[in-house]
Chains A and B, each alone.
Chain A
Amino acid sequence: MHQSRAPSNTTTGTHLLRVLLVVDVPFYREGLQLLLTQEDAIEVVGAVTTDEARSAAMHDAPSLVLLDISPPGARQCLERMRELSPPPRVVALAVDETHDSVVSWIEAGVSGYVSKNSTSAELIDALHTAARGEWACSQLVMSQIMKRLSTLAADARGATASLTALTARERQILELVAQGMSNKRIAIALSISHATAKNHLHHILGKLQLRNRTEVAAYLRGVSQPPRPLLPRTVSPD
C-alpha cells in the first residue's frame, strides 16, 4: 500500500532523511516501515512494491530509496530510479552477500548494500551513511569488493608482463593486428614474407596464450583501456 506524506520538518531542527521503502515482501515492507518510523531523523515517505516504486518516487521525491533486490523486477526498478531527476540514492537490501550479487549491484549503481542479516541499527546507520554520499556496506561486502579490485589489478599486471615477453618485432606486428590488418598486409607493410608474418603471429599467440587474432584485439583493448567492469555485463543478479 502506497502511503504518501507531505514533507515535514522537525521542531528540533534535525535534517530529516526522506526514505522510500521498496520491498515486495509484506513482512519486511510493513516491518521496516514500523522500525524506521520510530527513528526521529528518518521520515518514511512511502512503503511500496517494486511495481509502485516509480510513481511513488516521482510523487514523494525521497532522498533515499531502500530497495529489496530479491524480487525479479528489482533491477528494472533500480534503472527507473536512476532515470529520475534528480535520482535518489538507492541502498540495496539483500538476502545474501554473495560475491556476484554484491559486485553486480554495485555496478548497477546502488549507493549501499545491506544484508537482511544486519540488525535494524546497522540498517539505519547504512541509510544515514548513504545519505551523506558515502558508501554503506558491511565489512564482508567491503572485503568482497576489495578482493575483486585486487583480482582486476593482478590481471592488469599479468597482461602487461605478458606484453614485455614479446620481441620488438612481435610487438610491432601485434600493433598491426590490433589495427585489423591481415597477415598479407602486415607482410607488405613490414617488407617480410607472408610466411614470416604468419610465423610471428603464431609466436605472439603462444606467448599471450590467445587462440586467434580476434582475441588479440580484445586482449589489447583490455590492456589499454582499464578499468574493465567488475563483472561481465551479461551477468545478472536476477
Chain B
Amino acid sequence: MHGVRLYARVVITTRVAFAGLSRLCEDVLRAGLLLRPDIELIAPWTRLAVLDGDGAPGPAEILFVELDGEELPSALRMLLVAAEPLKIVGMSPDASRAILFTLHEQRTLMLGATATRVLNRVGQPA
C-alpha cells in the first residue's frame, strides 16, 4: 500500500511508578523504559490507578521503592493490602538487588539486575 503508513498500536501491559529511589537510579530506570513502550510511567506514584481502589481490571501496576534490607516497611505492607493487586519492587540502595513484593509473596527478583531485565520481568503478564 504505497503512501500509507501503518502503525502498530502499542498495548500498555504494565504501569510503573517510582517513590523514594535515588535520582540516578530513577533516571536509569527511565532510560530503560525507552526500550519498553508497553510499560507506562506514572508520576507521581500516587496517581497509580490501583490506589483508587475501584478494582477495575487493567494493566499491572508496580511501585518501585528503595529498600534497606529485605523487609518491606509496615506502611508499604499496608499499602499492599489496601491496594491489591499492587506489586512493589524494592531496590537495594546500590541497585544490586531487586525484590518483588505482592500481598501473598516476596521473592528476590534479580541479583545483579539491570534496568532492562528488571523491566522485562515486571512487564511479563502475571
Q: What residues make up the interface of A, taking CB atoms closer than 8 Å to B? A: 25-32, 34-35, 38, 70, 95, 115-120, 123
Contacts and interface: CB of A to CB of B under 8 A. Distances in A.
Interface string B67-99: 000000000000000000000000001111000
B114 interface: yes
11 contacts: A26-B112, A27-B95, A27-B113, A27-B115, A30-B114, A31-B28, A31-B31, A34-B31, A116-B24, A116-B25, A117-B24
Interface residues of chain B: helix, strand, loop or mixed (majority): helix
A119 B26 CA distance: 8
A35 B29 CA distance: 10
B13 interface: no
Nearest to A38: B31
B108 interface: no
A25 B32 contact: no
Interface in B88-126: 93-96, 112-116, 118
B46 interface: no
Contacts of A118: 23-24
B4 to A, nearest CB: 32
B114 A31 contact: yes
A35 B112 contact: no
A24 B112 CA distance: 9
A31 B32 contact: yes
